[in-house]
Amino acid sequence: MGIYESLMEIVGNDRVSNGQEERYFYSRDSGAQPSRKADYVVLPKTTEEVQKIVRLANRKKVPITPMGGGFTLSALAVPNRGGIVLDMKGMDRILEVNEMSRYAVIEAGVTQGALQSYLRRNHPDLQHSTPEAPPAVTVVANALIQGHGHISPRYGVNSDMINGLEVVLPTGEVCTIGSRSVGPSWFTRGPLPDLAGLFVGWYGTTGIVTKLAMRLYPKPKFRDVFVFSTDEIDLIPEAISGVTRLDLLEDFFLITQEKPDWMNHCFFVIILSAHGEEELTLKRDLYKNFFHDFAGGGKVDFVEDLHPALRKRFLDVPPLAALAADFRKGGGFEYTGAILPIDKIPEAWRKGIEISHRYNMLCSYVHQVLPGPGIMFGFNYSFNRADPKDRENTRKALEESNRLTYELGGMVWKGELEAQRMTMDRMDPNTLQLITRVKGLLDPAGIMNPGNWDPGERR
């Protein structure tokens, strides 16, 4: 029996396709990477179906690329060697919300939007860490790529919030990780060997996560946004260090854009939350005083008259901080997510502006401060999707900002293949060998999202 017929036997006629339209759609994403080739698209509904598909893929030596929302912009869910795209969005059940221990158990296809509205309706005192990505992205893939959400500056990146997993291994066995592997509850990941690390950051090359338990957090009754601005780029590291040392904020991002002129400053956007008004006032005053006295005083201004529309956008969950981008006709948007030490921000800031200008783009930045403190420094580029030259320029700008990231001692987050090559070129050879051995051990047939974290892909 052929692959297509076998897939139909597993999931039925309606959830598999090798039609031209579906293959076109799944052969690209909305970023600037060139399109590649998907041969089959399958939407499994159950872990058992995923298992059967994986076993079939092993027998037929056909690659599998798991996909959530497909929104990394780095084509991480676009197949490199053809084969099956396993679109997980059909597995969309929220299986449990435990109010007492504060976690949710969800299937791999549950989107950010779905979990957010489910919690609002049924558990209004709880929230999950929501990235500023489109609502159609999946909670599971976001956690697996070490994404970050609106409470990450306070509680950690989203992969830190994983309590447990159910995974279909590349050889077809189903395996649970965390407290669920020894008892009925998903309340914690440790104290056990931390096997979640075998699936976090691997881009689907080590297994297919079918369920995930995600920590939830109390939703504060009061929230407010405070914005401060400066033109003293060299003071940013000290400001971040001081702001985070106070240890009172929920979210903290930095934005700027060259146009309109009033936006051409560095804005510190600080979201505070509290359970009472007094707590909020206290926190606000502490930050105002901090910036008032910062670096001898007079270096940072408090933005008193924040426009109500901006106030709303910053306080939305997720916030819409990316209004900074110089969106062009054609609507393309890309960014290098550079995870940088904060002392390198001034150099990154200046050199990033030069990169944008070299490719005739206006500079716009959105950076989120992460625990450490470190920063997700977004080198943002907008382009016309319909213009091949513009797409190529964007790829060159990404490559330059990836290289700059490494020169500055940082790392590229959710890197496209080229960025992964740069990472592997710089990696401790023993670490790279360990990665290769782990992949080989888990996926002896080499079927899982091949090309990613693959030293053979290096030039």
Ligand X SMILES: Cc1cc2nc3c(=O)[nH]c(=O)nc-3n(C[C@H](O)[C@H](O)[C@H](O)COP(=O)(O)OP(=O)(O)OC[C@H]3O[C@@H](n4cnc5c(N)ncnc54)[C@H](O)[C@@H]3O)c2cc1C
Question: Which residues of this chain interact with ligand X, rule CB under 6 A?
Answer: 65-73, 76-77, 88, 108, 131-134, 137-138, 140-142, 144-145, 147-148, 203-204, 208-209, 322, 333, 449
Distance in Å, CB of 427 to ligand X, minimum: 19
Nearest residue (CB) to ligand X, 6 versus 47: 47
Euclidean distance between the first and the last CA atom of the chain, given in angstroms as a whole number:
38
Q: Dihedral sign, CA of 439, 442, 447, 449?
A: negative
The Cα 56–Cα 40 span in angstroms is 13
Distance in Å, CB of 279 to ligand X, minimum: 26
Nearest residue (CB) to ligand X, 119 versus 280: 119
The Cα 377–Cα 389 span in angstroms is 26
Nearest residue (CB) to ligand X, 177 versus 300: 177
Per-residue CA distances from 379 to 221, 324, 436 (Å): 34, 12, 30
Distance in Å, CB of 127 to ligand X, minimum: 15
Distance in Å, CB of 283 to ligand X, minimum: 23
Distance in Å, CB of 120 to ligand X, minimum: 19
The Cα 137–Cα 89 span in angstroms is 9
**Strands of the 331-341 sheet, one edge to the other:** 301-302, 222-230, 266-274, 251-257, 364-370, 374-384, 331-341, 411-413
Nearest residue (CB) to ligand X, 50 versus 404: 50
For strand 103-107 and strand 16-17, is the pairing parallel, antiparallel, or unpaired? unpaired
Distance in Å, CB of 136 to ligand X, minimum: 8
The Cα 45–Cα 10 span in angstroms is 10
Nearest residue (CB) to ligand X, 22 versus 279: 22
Nearest residue (CB) to ligand X, 70 versus 352: 70
What are 97's strand-pairing partners? 104
In 342-402, the DSSP E strands lie at: 364-370, 374-384
Distance in Å, CB of 204 to ligand X, minimum: 3
Nearest residue (CB) to ligand X, 400 versus 416: 416
